[in-house]
Structure 1
Amino acid sequence: MIKTLSTFALAAGTALAFSMSAAGAETLRLATDSGAEGSPTAESMEQWANLIEEGTDGELEVDIFYQNELGGQQEVFDLFVAGDVDMMINWPMTSYDQRIAIVYTPYMVFTWEEAKEAYRPGGWINGMMDGIYQDIGLKFFGAWPEGFNGVATKDEYATTVEEAGDLKVRVPPIFPMAETVQAMGYETATIDWSEVFTAIETGVVDGDAANVIYWDYEYFRDTLDYYVRTKQAFNTGIISMNLQTWENLSDAHQQVVQDAAVTVMEDHFEAAQEIDQSYVEKAEEAGMTYIEPEEEEIKALAEKVRAEVWPQMEEEVGSEIMDTVRENASEL
């Protein structure tokens, strides 16, 4: 990821401003790496902030920073781990601990019901993520679900490995995104979210292969023609807090922050599937062609991807975690 010196200077200056302001006020800084004002992410951030402020009678205030206001995905996550951002709803980066990649393990679940069971409080994925996040200095609250992702392209599309060979698509700089999409037959280019539009417009890539349909509709509907719901991953952001910030809160304030986070998670699990379907309809109205591969096609993709990518996952996250995945993942 190439960034200018001015971007890094802005991030450093912001961090300094944070440390100075935090000394004189009980203000929490809540950020996201993906979601402008008015987006579903922004609405959940605002809900979390309002619940905290109301629950503490204003003793805690929350400043919100939307997509790109503090830098790119990795830059904002760096600020978060350093404690210059206190809370996030974000797509977790694996740079500090590759075990975080567990949430990106391809073809673990195939239905919303299976996903809810895995990510609910006490669910098998939630249990693993809590310990992993603590190890890098973060407090894990829960998932912020979006839904099953797919591949959005222009001019042509693919539902099989053989058809995908003619297409080059964008993946984010997160393991095992590239490995998964390559196993599906595509050529890939690793590109930060802030640079995807330009990459598609200039023909560097033929589309985007990481997101639920909301993002491809919202940002690329005038450029991309097809959205194929290949379901290689159940996309979910993570609701979390810097662990030092958490530990510095009073017991009463901790309870409010945690209860508010769980409320946001539960509310969004209820709303996310409907939101996702609404954007399918909007995309079709805008002229995009929405395609759901046949069950046999999804199964063929899943078998190939699991065979190629799960062993790579084991090398990165360890056999204990992958044994848990194998024990709990949906049957093909």
Structure 2
Amino acid sequence: MKTIGFNFKTLLASAITAACLASTSAQALTLKLATDSGTQGSPAGEALKKWGELIEQKSGGDIETKVFYQNELGGQQEVFDLHVAGDVDVMLNWPMTSYDKRIGVIYTPYMTLSWKEALEAYSPGGWVNNLLGGVYQDIGLKFFGPWPEGFNGVGSRDKYALTIKDADGLKVRTMTVFPAPQTMQALGYQTAAIDWGEVYTALQTGVVDGEAGNVIYWDYEYFRDTIDHYVQTKHFFMTGVLSMNLDVWEGMTEAQQQVVQEAAVEIMNEQFKAAKEQDEYYIQKAQEAGMKYFEPSDEQLREFAKAAREQVWPLMDKEIGTEIMDTIRANATGL
């Protein structure tokens, strides 16, 4: 009886331990996904949602996701702060330069002038992609890759500019990151750096005459009752970034890391294929809605590019370093 009792207790203890382990393993890792720009149903919002779905599917239930869209966790800077702090695990973000001004690489004006050149530069293995990966790691983020949108421009009300001279007197909203204001000033505009969440009010109240931070989708989707002109100045090639908090990344198993990485690559590859067609679609939609759309001539575009490079690139030498800028100079589109 003594022997039988010992075996029974041992078996009971083993069963309890096994049950506890099973319960622990059944408790899925939960990742919080967010974007600083893009409501539910927008291209960015849908990309984030699909990223979360792919993570859950590929993990076989080992990882669960919670998705937060634009302004649900705060403004652009606030959400990026949460990401760096680890309170937002995974992001589709439009990078803020407050942690490391070298992130401004992504906002270097007129690095490329064509879709072909831009996609090659930003693709995995491309020279811009390689620059960004190291910078992100230094601020505690895992860099998966870019989520390209296309070349941006200036949306404005009542008047527009195709030359630096014509921009005189036009005041436009810029992103709050370096060197967005400096770039638009080089192109002849007056500027006001305004957070994305406050742009609509600034346009409605006349604080600014236009907005100069985005591809046409955003101006069409959010401001078409106010903005009636759009000039595709191409001063930045706009791209979001797919990233993850590095501490959270390193705390996952290799299998979990592989799941998140594979899902990110799938989302990135889809957007590389879709970006140009998507941009052209919204150019057409904007014109159908009554917005007047302009593409500067090659001569006008090169006037913009020359002015921005001459005035802004030397400032970037001081802010992000000559070594990085020398790489940009060596690879940028020739004028």
Aligned to 1:48: 51
**Counterparts of 2:290 and 2:131, CA distance in 1:** 41
Aligned to 1:87: 90
**Counterparts of 1:303 and 1:78, CA distance in 2:** 35
Which runs of structure 2 are paired with 1:7-86 in the superposition (5 Å)? 25-86=28-89
Whether 1:302 and 2:305 are equivalent positions in the alignment is yes
**1:124 Cα deviation (Å)?**
0.6
Which runs of structure 2 are paired with 1:194-213 in the superposition (5 Å)? 194-213=197-216
What's the CA shift string for 1:107-141, capped at 9, x where partnerless? 00011111111111111111111111111100000
Q: Which moved more, 1:78-87 or 1:116-125?
A: 116-125
Q: Which amino acid aligns with 1:34?
A: S
Runs in 1 of length 4+ with deviation above 2 angstroms?
Answer: none
- Name the SS of the counterpart of 2:74 in structure 1: coil
Aligned to 2:251: 248
**Counterparts of 1:252 and 1:82, CA distance in 2:** 24
**1:25 Cα deviation (Å)?**
5.0
Aligned to 1:315: 318
Aligned to 2:238: 235
| TM-score, with structure 2 as normaliser | 0.91
What's the CA shift string for 1:254-313, capped at 9, x where partnerless? 111111111111100100111111101110011000000111000011001100000001
Whether 1:133 and 2:149 are equivalent positions in the alignment is no
- Name the SS of the counterpart of 1:209 in structure 2: strand
**Counterparts of 1:286 and 1:116, CA distance in 2:** 29
**1:47 Cα deviation (Å)?**
1.5
Q: Which amino acid aligns with 2:256?
A: H
Aligned to 1:269: 272
Length, aligned pairs only:
309
Q: Is contact 2:28–2:61 with CA below 8 Å preserved after alignment? A: no
| TM-score, with structure 1 as normaliser | 0.92
**Counterparts of 1:29 and 1:175, CA distance in 2:** 28
Aligned to 1:6: none
| Counterpart pick for 2:109 among 101, 106, 110 | 106
- Name the SS of the counterpart of 1:126 in structure 2: helix
Q: Which amino acid aligns with 2:163?
A: T
**Counterparts of 1:195 and 1:84, CA distance in 2:** 24
- Name the SS of the counterpart of 2:166 in structure 1: helix
**Counterparts of 1:287 and 1:59, CA distance in 2:** 49
Which runs of structure 2 are paired with 1:213-224 in the superposition (5 Å)? 213-224=216-227
Aligned to 1:162: 165
**1:62 Cα deviation (Å)?**
0.9
- Name the SS of the counterpart of 1:144 in structure 2: strand
Q: Which moved more, 1:227-236 or 1:123-132?
A: 123-132
Q: Is contact 2:28–2:62 with CA below 8 Å preserved after alignment? A: no
**1:58 Cα deviation (Å)?**
1.0
**Counterparts of 2:203 and 2:135, CA distance in 1:** 35
**Counterparts of 1:25 and 1:79, CA distance in 2:** 22
Aligned to 2:123: 120
What's the CA shift string for 1:199-223, capped at 9, x where partnerless? 0011000010110000000011011
- Residue identity (%): 61
What's the CA shift string for 1:226-251, capped at 9, x where partnerless? 00000001000000000001001110
**Counterparts of 1:31 and 1:132, CA distance in 2:** 21
- Name the SS of the counterpart of 1:162 in structure 2: coil
**1:177 Cα deviation (Å)?**
0.2
| Counterpart pick for 1:278 among 268, 276, 281 | 281
What's the CA shift string for 1:189-208, capped at 9, x where partnerless? 01111110010011000010
- Name the SS of the counterpart of 1:290 in structure 2: strand
Q: Which moved more, 1:47-56 or 1:211-220?
A: 47-56
The structure with the largest alpha-carbon Rg is 2
Q: Which amino acid aligns with 2:105?
A: I
What's the CA shift string for 1:125-182, capped at 9, x where partnerless? 1111111111110000000000000000001000111000120000011000000000
| Counterpart pick for 1:328 among 312, 320, 331 | 331
| Counterpart pick for 1:173 among 172, 176, 182 | 176
Q: Which amino acid aligns with 2:190?
A: E
- Name the SS of the counterpart of 2:218 in structure 1: helix
